[in-house]
A and B are shown apart, each in its own frame.
Chain A
Amino acid sequence: MSRQRSIETILASEYVTIGELVRLTGTRYSTLKFYTEEGFLPFKQEEQKLTRRYPREETVQRIAYIKKMREEGKTIPEIRGILYEQDGDTKG
């Protein structure tokens, strides 16, 4: 079993857990869980039942972007559409 990582170590890591995203972004766990289930936050998971790992920089930026859109008054379906379009463009 490992110890909880310090903020300094987390900030130097390529991948982070959802708990570490809570600490990094100050976003509630249930919100991050919802964003993950909606497919807004891509993650790596070696096997089912193992810890999900999120690319730190990209995910922190993505959460800030979603927050900004929420503050602008965009609804979740609108945000979903915007993100899918962008992700589609990136992948395409």
Chain B
Amino acid sequence: MKNVSITQQYLLCVLNKNGKLPAFGLEKPLCLSAAGVLELLMENVFALDGKKLTVQLPLPEEKAYLRPVYDIVEKKQPVKFEAIVEYFSFTFTDTHINELIDSLGASLVQMECVQKEKGGFWGGKNVYIPNEADVDSIVQSIRAELLEDGELSEDIVALTVLLNKSGDLQKYFSAYEKKDLKKRLKEIKNTPQNEMIQKVVEYIDSLLCLIVVAAT
């Protein structure tokens, strides 16, 4: 019975058994930073006016793990959503995304959802081994909403679209359930109330397109 936010939940779901994000692929860092922005938008700490983000409220104490995201938006505001996500994912070093992971990781250590260890090539990097029971609890919550009739909560919609975008959602559903999942994802896409979340997905899509174009 833990109050784990969408950014914390996203990280728990994408960390591998060694407590790291996979070394290759930009989708997960991109979606993790997008989750941070989205969470602060949903809490009205940020506002999204057109394509630009601004700070509306001070960072609540209980959201201190999102300090790296808050600080960069505060410093650069008004700033494009893409610029913030790029700041965390499209850099030559992984300093910025590691700072966000360490901040989230520390909050998850406090909640006993992960175990902090030293890892990486030289053993100098922090890694956060996810507690399997906590990951399973998140997965069960997603399944309980997506496979049931009725309204979906905004948090589950946000988490679902981000996990889907980084290719991590399908593994939680059996082949038999995938038909229902597809139907639900289509429903999420066509629900006008999900406009803000859809906007975030569009931004992520355009960034992923840029990566493909740059790589070819």
Q: Is the CB of A19 within 8 A of B148?
A: yes
B-side contacts of A23, CB under 8 Å: 1, 137, 141
Q: Is the CB of A51 within 8 A of B150?
A: yes
Is B95 in the interface zone, CB < 8 Å from A?
no
Q: How far is the CA of A30 from the CA of B120 in the complex (A)?
A: 37
Per the 8 Å Cβ criterion, residues 12-46 of A in contact with B are: 17-19, 21-24, 26, 28-30, 32-33
Q: Which of B2, B147, B150 is in CB contact (< 8 Å) with A52?
A: B150
Is A90 in the interface zone, CB < 8 Å from B?
no
B42 to chain A: closest residue by CB: A3
Interface size of B by CB at 8 A reads: 26
Q: Which of A1, A2, A28, A51 is in CB contact (< 8 Å) with B148?
A: A51
Q: Is the CB of B137 within 8 A of A29?
A: no
Q: How far is the CA of A18 from the CA of B144 in the complex (A)?
A: 6
Q: Is the CB of A4 within 8 A of B140?
A: no
Interface size of A by CB at 8 A reads: 26
**Known pairs A1-B191, A1-B193, A24-B1; A52 contacts B144 (CB<8 A):** no
Complex interface bits, B143-174 against A, C-beta within 8 A gives 1, otherwise 0: 11101111111111100000000000000000
**Known pairs A3-B154, A22-B137; A51 contacts B149 (CB<8 A):** yes
Q: Is the CB of A4 within 8 A of B154?
A: yes
A-side contacts of B145, CB under 8 Å: 17, 19
Q: Is the CB of B150 within 8 A of A48?
A: no
Is A91 in the interface zone, CB < 8 Å from B?
no
Q: Is the CB of B149 within 8 A of A49?
A: yes
Is B91 in the interface zone, CB < 8 Å from A?
no
Q: How far is the CA of A18 from the CA of B141 in the complex (A)?
A: 9
B-side contacts of A3, CB under 8 Å: 42, 153-155
Is B3 in the interface zone, CB < 8 Å from A?
yes
The 4 closest A-B pairs by CB, nearest first: A51-B150, A19-B144, A4-B155, A29-B144
Interface residues of B (CB under 8 A from A): 1-3, 42, 133, 136-137, 140-141, 143-145, 147-157, 191, 193-194
Interface CB pairs A-B, < 8 A, 10: A1-B151, A1-B153, A1-B154, A1-B191, A1-B194, A3-B153, A6-B3, A7-B1, A17-B150, A29-B143
